A and B are shown apart, each in its own frame.
Chain A
């Protein structure tokens, strides 16, 4: 992210922050909407349940009323009287048979309450069933085994059975049965109707629609939890599917009233349900809606909001690009100005854009450039003056060194003439003086040579190339061999990294340092010189370590000065220019020099070089 350009970062941040905000708002809104919709749907289910329960109750009441009223009619009483218990044939059957069937057909046709109607005698033997075709299908004519029959005989009242299999249709049924009594109140027959469970399932559904067209549905179970009526799936009724494990049914069968959200163990779906017991039957009535259906408006809304949100994020992203460009344009101008100034053109100024923070920044930037320009001018003046003074100094030093050589050659020449021609004539002391003059003149010549070389090196330009330091070092060691001929020196040379520098100058550095090491270990029995390098950041640290005479660290600061010597010339010859030369060369390469030592134990000389910009040494 930190490497990303502002022109990308700003629109991206706009999109991300807008996206996160939109998503959070949408989530919160959807949660609230979901909660509200659920509450509303649950309340609606409770209302639907009340209506559904009333309709079911009314249907059963109506069925009971039809059975009870017709059972008190003359035709049924007369017909029952014609089939007394134990009788196998009916007296005058044909006379009343047609009337009885007309009555039954009329009830079946007009009420649609019943699937069939039947009349049995007091012993439970069926002797009339309508539709007539069921008479042949009756698997048992004697219904005395049926629990509803026993209940009716015991109570002497109208009964509504639980769900059971009809002996006439062999399908699930619920029977409403009432006793038929004679004038003295004796039970002479049983008038019963098998409730049409398809009609019962259709209660609450518009006439023109079949069962199962709505996603919200009512359901009725008997006291065992077996489905009696179902607005959603008639197969449940045909197979008396066991709903006793469904929480909403269990609650209703416990005679509780309320609403709940639950997972149906039958189909595994999450549902909302309202429940209550059905008056005094022991049955349950529930009204149910799958949660996915109840929340479908929320899901649709979620999809739409999602698309709108995505569109909003895209629009905001595009807006972010435009805004970012407006913000970045003056910044780009600032950056370009800074680059131009950084490249050396201090006359560059930035056009002020507006009065906002970026405008202020541009003004400050111009002020800074103005100030920098003034300082630069001052600095250039100082540099010019310094350069002129330096040139004069160098010219002076060169001239002095060069001009000193001529009188020195004369001195040397005449000392040589004196020695050659008049040596015999001179007293011993005179010869000694001449030798001293000759030595001093040679030493002075060496000093002048070194000084001239040192002076020249100050004027030379560094010609950097990629150098193999190992190769350079081998050359220097080879040239030094005559210096330590006859001596035993242990050389420990590590593999050195390549560098980017002036070949001649760096050769001079190695020569001076190694020449010193050879010189200052002259009095050491087992001389050892170690050469190595380590890498640290952008610098290479080269070192030359010897076990020679070393030096006192309190004079270390003088070590790299011109003509600075820490040892007597008699002990170790030299002009005191070598290390000054090393420091100048290394400084020209942008490096540093220093030394560490312990007197009579040895010294380490360090110099550093910068790696080049491509990471090479």
Chain B
């Protein structure tokens, strides 16, 4: 607590200078006297009152204190005085800003209010003195005869009032015409009282600050239509079509979770942690209460799960949950998992993309639907099981004069495979990669669906899964078909194509070694493509640095001292698109000579022309790995 309390003098002393500067600008003589600078105030509050205070002081100088001539005329000292006094009173800190200027002129205030239409004529008579003074807090109210750069700009006292009230304080005005006025700020000692929701989990009760709370959901096992689903072993809840990841508070706190007993009612507290929504499963939702936040001892601060403790009405102590800390605790594990499976590429736990993408939906031997991006699909075929031949243990099918290896997705994803053997028809998705065709065998091909949704890649429980997506009312698992293929190719003894298939072995190794010296920067917002292209590039031997959108890319490159030799970029990205990125980068001396290649799915003469004008050297198609590598080689290695 003590560390949070700071003397108000830290803020007040800087007004000496503000006033010195102002009096010079305004040709007035003003002296500032500070009292009670040692009065302590919560650090956050101090921060919050800094701007309002500055404004009040500037107001006093500009409107309050008269010019030396005026002052002489009214029999005052030439030098105006401003006092700032702070002291404790009734559990609050009071800050008085007093000047000996002309004070508030009631007539002037009223006529101004009428003129601005803030007041109607008939309301005038009903106003008390206090009400009239408080007119200066009305938005857009200014009595300054002319607008100066000091005040009279119409944004002013209303903002002061709002800011002070936001932190639970009050503003009062005392004024005497011709003698001066006092602005009195009453500020609570700390921000320590917050409305909270009290919940129970296990034996103990916890408080959750209301500001973080979005809603409460109660799921009844028998009656509700919406149920808690388990996606890759993690609980999920569909909240009005949005996928809400659930977190069991018991699990987070390391309390024992009674597994066998399925509860008939699940209480979910929907929380918002800096934009990230998640549901917290608790045993019981009790009540709301205004709680007094008491900080935890210094040595418990490292427990980011709690933001403090409070004494409840019955005298027991409850911990206050820190929602952001809670989200971080939960996400860290997910992130670590992702980092392990994703050697490079995406670094965010959640990657959002707004590309409208088409997906092919199919069934495998697992609950739910699975899908792959449609643009990877070459053809859909159905084969009779007697068409299947064997090359060693590998199932193959003669397909258009070529041999089509059949890869069972069930086997790859380690789902049971029995049923597919007994079937006499095979549903096969033919995928083309590097001039070779591959047959991916699935149980059933269902549908093609076009969704504008975010691929959530924070959840994947096995290799071969890229993430999840919400389609309508369902969660669909996206299979990382490229990973499946490269995994299978290794098994089938086919080398990853490093350069055009006719290149000799020697050339490949030679290229490999040289490629390592040419780092490539890649900006792409869609997780799927970012991962794929990164893989292709790294497979070829290029070091890759990625960014999730144009803005991030620009920020990384702008400041970076890196030796990036070539920049790849998507065109359609949020925040800053590829064209802007290219234009901005071309303005920087360092990036002027660096080749830039646009990777896109959109090809029209116009877009290519636009791209070249923006500074791209080349336009390439997203999914064509060989072409990409060849092009990059031609830029970096051949000259």
Say whether A associates with B. Answer: no
